[in-house]
Amino acid sequence: MNLQAVKAIYRFEMARAGRTVMQSIVSPVISTSLYFVVFGSAIGSRISSVEGVTYGAFIVPGLVMLSLLQQSIMNASFGIYFPKFTGTIYELLSAPVSFLEVVLGYVGAAASKSIILGLLILATASLFVPLHIAHPFWMLTFLVLTAITFSLFGFIIGIWADGFEKLQIIPLLIVTPLTFLGGSFYSVHMLPPFWQAVTLFNPVVYLISGFRWAFFELADVDFTVSIGMTLAFLAVCLAIIGWIFKTGYKLRN
């Protein structure tokens, strides 16, 4: 494996984040802080607790996941789309670099930025609500797995998109609504039985449920199912990326 190539791509993408720190780091942290103020303080004052956990603390895992999914997709999709837009993607494809090294560089950088952002949001959340993490190892595991998985998903979107508008469609019109409806601000058990069953078709439910379990040992679905669903989505994304590079979809023309 050409580790030098991976390092070069990774450092380039991380340097781009450093040049746009207000947009890539500060803005998401401030936006999430506003959620804490509105939902945690204004609405939380009217809701004493959810399954024994104060409402302000209960929404922390959901808010972290909301930002993590959005930023992972946006970082990875823009990272690979911009070389296509400028035409420099052909230099990358003609270089002695395998598709695995390209993916490691771009997805690794996008996931790293998302993990840093997630940890910053957790630190910010601790300023608003008392935060206790029951299982730090599993919390970090879910954080890393989710960042990698949705960075891969964003990489796929970046290759598929042929315009800046398409980069926004799936994150804004699909991922964000699924996150809001996936138990970010409420427990799925609070819904009527029919809607509980419907909600289980939302894949984001499993991510938020597993992440919340790591904090409070509360889950809408079994913890092992959450891990399994996350790994399954990761495998699907890897398979799609492998097919893209094998066939040259949206890369060779």
Domain ranges of the chain: 3-247
Print pLDDT tens along the chain (253 aa). 778 888 988 998 888 777 777 777 788 888 888 877 777 666 666 677 777 888 888 888 998 998 899 889 999 998 888 888 877 777 777 778 888 888 999 999 999 999 999 999 998 888 888 888 999 999 999 999 999 999 999 999 999 988 888 888 888 888 889 998 888 888 888 889 999 999 999 999 999 999 999 999 988 899 999 999 999 999 999 999 989 888 888 776 5
Q: Tell me the CA distances in angstroms from 63 to 1, 32, 52, 67, 92, one per residue in order.
A: 37, 7, 19, 6, 36
What is the DSSP-derived secondary structure letter of residue 99?
Answer: H
> Could you give the CA distance from residue 66 to residue 180 in angstroms, rounded to a whole number?
8
Give the three-state DSSP class for 251. Answer: coil
CA dihedral over 104, 109, 112, 118, signed as positive or negative: negative
